[in-house]
Amino acid sequence: MGEIHLISNGKWSLHEFADVASNCITEIDYVHLREKNRTDEELETGVDHLINAGIPTSKIMINDRVSVASHKQVRGVQLAYHSLDVKTVRQHYPDLRIGRSVHSVVEAKKAEQDGADYVLYGHIFKSNSKPGLKPRGLENLKNLIEQVSIPVIAIGGITPHNANKVMECGAHGIAVMSGILESENPKKVTQHYRGGVSR
């Protein structure tokens, strides 16, 4: 059974995002707060919204802000290229689940060596959030998966109709943003995603 990671889009209020995430949470493994323009205090309030909406801390991941993830005692942190390095986070926050966003085999291998629990790789398919950028595609995804032993979560343009192709490459799961958040019926779409990642 593949994982589904729901990622916030940085556009909605965190209260709105919590409401949608709560409605879909039975089908979602992890909820990521990816809010580059918000303060730590705002992010902590966002975590409170998620918890109050019934989402357990064991399913909450914070992008980049390691101190927020640690202070709110959520499951983990998703590190970007500009974040603290994996090795430092592992040393100082041993209880956090650490994901690292990567764009190449070299980056994925480095993340694995430094102690990441998984890597997030993309974008796989054409994505509205990456206009004009060529997608990396399924062949590159499969190649990267074969080069590392830690789980690989795929992101970028993944729909309920192509999720199975991602899983056939050996991915551990998928990460979705607009595919769920911008749908007319997020809960129903998430159920379709669940069918796509079920093996």
Active-site residue list: 123
Beta bridge partners of 5: 30, 175
Q: Which residues of 21-39 are buried (b: 16+ CB within 10 A; e: fewer)?
A: bbbbbebbbbbbbbbeebe
55 in Cβ contact with 69 (< 8 Å): no
Q: Which residue in this structure is represented by tokens 């909605």?
A: 12
SS3 sequence, 178-195? Answer: HHHHCCCCHHHHHHHHHH
